[in-house]
């Protein structure tokens, strides 16, 4: 975190030449911004930074867990209520590995999850609830929260609890019950996806199924305000052509988000892909509709939209970086870029940077089922028939 003295107006930072922003966190612009801010929050530990690693024996094997690290119980109890053309869950690896989005949990899922959590006893981590749409099946989500809460009593040491959601379940009949459950769970914040401030434009991007109420603008705005009354709310907008792509779009989105009760808005660039992905419809969508973060951020800094913005700090993660700002009205704004090639390199290092528990009962060090398996919670009979 930056100190108050390191917070400087954006228009002072504009004296720095606007060059291409980095694919990772190393570029002339990033370095100059780092100098302007005074420091960078480093989420990825150096290999020899002993205090930033936690050693733990898992499945009989000693492992090094990066600190901080997140644990995702991958949600895929049913197909997602939205059909976003850019969804990373629809990317496919060239090696033909199974897609996580096609897995469905069986009746033993929560027992297996509880075993995985006990095996992680004492490991410091944070919950990162994502996958497809966790809230689409309210009963499953409530049981998930109960299982994770119980796991905290005799399992990992949990620091933060975050949910990534399109909001569908919160606009459904059991929405109030889900909101209350998140409060009881101690959710740190909720990242609610909405990729345009205009309802019709957003529906063209997210393509909610006809029966899903959250697709309607008035329903979303009401639901967002209800959520903001219950938990810390961040609205997430994925930049893209046909959506938020220009400084004027950014300005309009920020004003609308604040009316919806959001305390933070996150603008994310499409994740950058490496050559390990197939050229499928999703990859082509990313290529055709990408809005480069460097161009948009540079345009915003040169535009009146940024008047009154204050630069707070930079964060460098193990495969992403972000720039955090605050507007004159107090709204926090994050511009974020991620590189899947960098992510794959980290995952191949032998150290553990990410934990994902899949519906097939395997705990893996990454987003690919069946790869980098740390623990298999299925019975021997179930594994034999897998």
Do residues 368 and 358 make contact, with C-beta atoms less than 8 angstroms apart?
no
Q: What six digits make up the tokens of 181?
A: 């459950």
What are the extents of the domains in the chain?
4-384
Kindly tell me the sign of the dihedral angle through the C-alpha atoms of 237, 240, 245, 249.
negative
pLDDT tens digits along 328-372? 999 999 999 999 999 999 999 999 999 999 999 999 999 999 999
- In the predicted model, is pLDDT for residue 20 greater than 60? no
Start-to-end Cα distance in the chain: 46
pLDDT of the residue at 36: 65
Q: What is the pLDDT of residues 67-87, one digit of tens each?
A: 999 999 999 999 999 999 999
- pLDDT over threshold 50, residue 2: no
With vertex at residue 364, the alpha carbon angle to CA 133 and CA 54, rounded to the nearest 5 degrees, is 110
pTM of the model: 0.91
Give the architecture-level CATH label for domain 4-384. Answer: Alpha-Beta Horseshoe (3.80)
Closest CA to 336 of 319, 354, 352: 319
- Each residue of 24-65: pLDDT tens digit? 444 545 665 676 667 778 888 888 888 899 999 999 999 999
Band of the pLDDT at 281, cuts 50, 70, 90? very high
CA distance linking residue 215 with residue 220, whole number of Å: 7
């Amino acid at each position: 975190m930056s100190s108050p003295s390191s917070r400087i107006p954006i228009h002072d930072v504009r004296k720095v030449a606007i060059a291409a922003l980095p694919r990772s966190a190393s570029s002339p612009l990033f370095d100059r911004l780092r100098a302007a801010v005074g420091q960078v929050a480093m989420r990825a530990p150096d290999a020899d930074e002993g205090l930033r690693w936690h050693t733990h024996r898992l499945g009989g094997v000693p492992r090094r867990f990066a600190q901080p690290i997140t644990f995702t119980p991958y949600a895929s109890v049913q197909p997602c209520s939205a059909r976003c053309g850019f969804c990373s869950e629809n990317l496919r690896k060239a090696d033909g590995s199974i897609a996580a989005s096609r897995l469905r949990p069986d009746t033993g899922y929560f027992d297996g999850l509880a075993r995985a959590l006990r095996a992680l006893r004492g490991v410091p981590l944070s919950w990162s609830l994502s996958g497809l749409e966790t809230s689409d099946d309210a009963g499953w989500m409530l049981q998930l929260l109960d299982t994770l809460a119980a796991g905290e009593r005799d399992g990992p040491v949990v620091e933060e609890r975050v949910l990534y959601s399109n909001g569908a379940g919160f606009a459904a009949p059991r929405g109030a019950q889900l909101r209350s459950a998140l409060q009881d769970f101690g959710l740190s914040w909720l990242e609610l996806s909405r990729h345009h401030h205009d309802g019709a434009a957003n529906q063209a991007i997210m393509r909610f199924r006809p029966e899903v109420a959250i697709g309607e603008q008035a329903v979303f705005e009401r639901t967002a305000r209800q959520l903001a009354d219950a938990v810390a709310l961040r609205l997430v907008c994925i930049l893209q052509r046909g959506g938020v792509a220009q400084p004027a779009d950014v300005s309009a989105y920020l004003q609308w988000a604040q009316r919806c009760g959001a305390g933070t808005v996150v603008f994310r660039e499409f994740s950058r892909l490496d050559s390990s992905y197939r050229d499928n419809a999703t990859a082509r969508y990313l290529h055709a509709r990408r809005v480069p973060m460097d161009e948009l951020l540079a345009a915003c800094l040169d535009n009146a939209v940024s008047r009154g913005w204050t630069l707070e700090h930079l964060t460098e993660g193990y495969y992403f970086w972000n720039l955090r700002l605050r507007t004159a009205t107090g709204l926090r704004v994050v511009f974020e870029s991620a590189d899947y090639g960098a992510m794959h390199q980290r995952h191949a290092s032998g150290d553990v940077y990410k934990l994902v528990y899949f519906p097939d009962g395997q705990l893996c060090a990454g987003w690919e089922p069946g790869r980098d398996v740390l623990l298999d919670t299925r019975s021997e009979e179930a594994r034999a028939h897998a």
